[in-house]
Amino acid sequence: MGKMWAGRTSGITDSIADDFNSSIRFDYKMFRQDITGSMAHALMLGAQNIITKEEADTLIAGLEGILSDLESGALEFDMTAEDIHMFVEAVLTERLGDVGKKLHTARSRNDQVAVDLRMYLRDEVDEISELIREVIRALIKQAESYKAAIMPGYTHLQRAQPVTFGHHMMAYAMMLLRDLSRIADCRKRMNISPIGCCALAGTTYNTDRRLEASELKFDGIAINSLDGVSDRDYCVELCSALSILMMHLSRMSEELILWTSWEFKFIELDDAYTTGSSIMPQKKNPDMAELIRGKTGRVYGDLMGILTVLKGIPLAYNKDMQEDKEGIFDAVETVQMCLRVLAPMLDTMKPIPENMKRAAQKGFINATDLADYLVKKGLPFRSAYKISGQLVAKCIAEGKVLEELTLSEYKEFSDLFEDDLYNEISLETCVEKRISEGGTSVKSVEAQIDYVKSQL
């Protein structure tokens, strides 16, 4: 295809340079945004009498035709074109003749690509937010069903205090709520229109930037044209919000992987979300969870890529910025794939409360409650802590758990122990008494579920 910008140079480029320079193999994805952006531009040019109303109508109809032909497959992308913007304009001019050449009045590819990318990511962000809500709904469902299922809560991956499976699920729901809010916040700054900044300095035409922005459902316009065409903060912000989201999904995946192991067996994943081994017949592998954990690295890489591309470029547009797209597209698509598989995997997962309970019974997980028992009888916490620790040591030496020691054995350590201690250290009591806001009791977890529901 002849270069539309031939003039200053012959426009004849080496084919290797052409391939190197071309971005259509990835920016074709923005064709809808490019075309609707151009329709709004034509409308504005007509409204401002920069072109005639008839010309504007012709351009809009021509663009509509291209959009529907691309959607239906009647028109194919020309992969030798320089980018999606040049491709659409070339087809338009081919179809409309000279009128087509008027579309690019008072515009540059620099503000065009910036507006396209913002619109594209805005749509992707909305999709991601909905997918996150799906995952939260699956977490809530599990939390509601297993709000009383006792499991060991861990610190340092050592059994620490009893919690419930529902409480654990809701911890992830909280993380995802923050992710939703971070992404919504990023969308606000993303939803500012750069169109009309033109190449870098604005334009001498009597344009109406706000009309064009509101046609395209932006909340406002970039106030400085140099900034408008060179700002990619929204890519960095989105990619960092997505990196944080992936970090959460990766932590959750790590737990799912641990929990499906025979060492834990707290949950069983549905067959639909596991794989077998080509050699070991007994295997049922949590590949989806492992891939989510693995793909987290990819999204972090995308973030580092975008940050590094931007760090050294002077104002305003530089071709380096074409490198923004593959990274952010990859991040967005990776996150969407992960969320799409995670939601049904969580939804169909089968917790195994007996195994959780059994694990909780083994690890002296009620030692804090034993100490608290003595505190309530008047002993200072540090002294109570010490006695409780000595009792644990005795149990370990004798291969017992706290529930198995007799009252007279307890009395050797402190006169304050009475028969009611056994009720106090039962796992059910340990959980039920943790009624502080945010705590693990069924009541507290129900409040957490209500809160998350209200935020959706």
Active-site residue, 277 included? yes
The nearer residue to ligand ARG, 211 or 313, going by C-beta atoms, is 313
Q: Does 249 bind ligand ARG (CB under 6 A)?
A: no
CA distance 364 to 389: 10
Beta-carbon contacts of residue 415 (< 8 Å; ≥ 6 apart): none
- Return the residues of window 58-87 that contact ligand ARG according to CB under 6 A: 83
CA distance 344 to 307: 33
DSSP lists the bridge partners of residue 351 as 267
- Return the residues of window 157-196 that contact ligand ARG according to CB under 6 A: none
The nearer residue to ligand ARG, 199 or 258, going by C-beta atoms, is 199
Tokens of 196: 């009309």
Task: Name which of 180, 160, 141 is nearest 440 in CA terms.
Answer: 160
The nearer residue to ligand ARG, 317 or 385, going by C-beta atoms, is 317
CA distance 143 to 170: 7
Q: Does 13 bind ligand ARG (CB under 6 A)?
A: no
**Of the candidates 120, 172, 317, 385, which one interacts with ligand ARG according to CB under 6 A?**
317
- Between strands 220-221 and 192-193, the pairing is parallel
* Residues 66/75, Cβ–Cβ less than 8 Å: yes
Of the listed pieces 140-148, 219-227, 319-327, 404-412, which binds ligand ARG according to CB under 6 A? 319-327
What is residue 220's three-state secondary structure? strand
Task: Provide the minimum distance between the beta carbon of 288 and ligand ARG in the complex, in angstroms, as a whole number.
Answer: 34
Active-site residue, 85 included? no
Task: Provide the minimum distance between the beta carbon of 27 and ligand ARG in the complex, in angstroms, as a whole number.
Answer: 6
C-alpha 422: how far from chain center:
46
Residue count, binding to ligand ARG (CB under 6 A): 10
**Of the candidates 322, 355, 368, 414, which one interacts with ligand ARG according to CB under 6 A?**
322
Catalytically annotated residue among 10, 15, 72, 156 = 156
263 CB burial (10 A radius; 0-12, 13-18, 19+) = exposed
Catalytically annotated residue among 68, 261, 277, 383 = 277
What is residue 163's three-state secondary structure? strand
CB pairs under 8 A, 24+ apart, for 42-46? 42/103, 43/211, 43/212, 43/215, 44/207, 44/208, 44/211, 44/212, 44/215, 45/102, 45/103, 45/105, 45/106, 45/207
Of the listed pieces 219-227, 233-241, 314-322, 386-394, which binds ligand ARG according to CB under 6 A? 314-322
* Residues 117/236, Cβ–Cβ less than 8 Å: no
The nearer residue to ligand ARG, 103 or 180, going by C-beta atoms, is 103
Task: Provide the minimum distance between the beta carbon of 200 and ligand ARG in the complex, in angstroms, as a whole number.
Answer: 10
- Range list of H helices, 73-202: 84-96, 109-145, 165-190
* Cis bond upstream, residue 316 (ω within 30): yes
Helical packing angle, 165-190 and 109-145, nearest 10°? 160
Q: Does 321 bind ligand ARG (CB under 6 A)?
A: yes
The nearer residue to ligand ARG, 109 or 167, going by C-beta atoms, is 109
**Of the candidates 81, 113, 292, 445, which one interacts with ligand ARG according to CB under 6 A?**
113
Task: Provide the minimum distance between the beta carbon of 167 and ligand ARG in the complex, in angstroms, as a whole number.
Answer: 47
The nearer residue to ligand ARG, 322 or 426, going by C-beta atoms, is 322
What is residue 413's three-state secondary structure? coil
Task: Provide the minimum distance between the beta carbon of 95 and ligand ARG in the complex, in angstroms, as a whole number.
Answer: 22
26 CB burial (10 A radius; 0-12, 13-18, 19+) = middle
The nearer residue to ligand ARG, 26 or 451, going by C-beta atoms, is 26
Of the listed pieces 149-157, 316-324, 378-386, 387-395, which binds ligand ARG according to CB under 6 A? 316-324
Of the listed pieces 43-51, 105-113, 215-223, 386-394, which binds ligand ARG according to CB under 6 A? 105-113
The nearer residue to ligand ARG, 321 or 338, going by C-beta atoms, is 321
**Of the candidates 36, 93, 110, 250, which one interacts with ligand ARG according to CB under 6 A?**
110
Q: Does 109 bind ligand ARG (CB under 6 A)?
A: yes
Task: Name which of 190, 207, 201 is nearest 227 in CA terms.
Answer: 201
**Of the candidates 27, 34, 179, 369, which one interacts with ligand ARG according to CB under 6 A?**
27
Task: Provide the minimum distance between the beta carbon of 320 and ligand ARG in the complex, in angstroms, as a whole number.
Answer: 9
Instruction: Give the binding site for ligand ARG (CB under 6 A).
Output: 23, 27, 83, 109-110, 113, 317, 319, 321-322
Residues that are catalytic: 156, 277
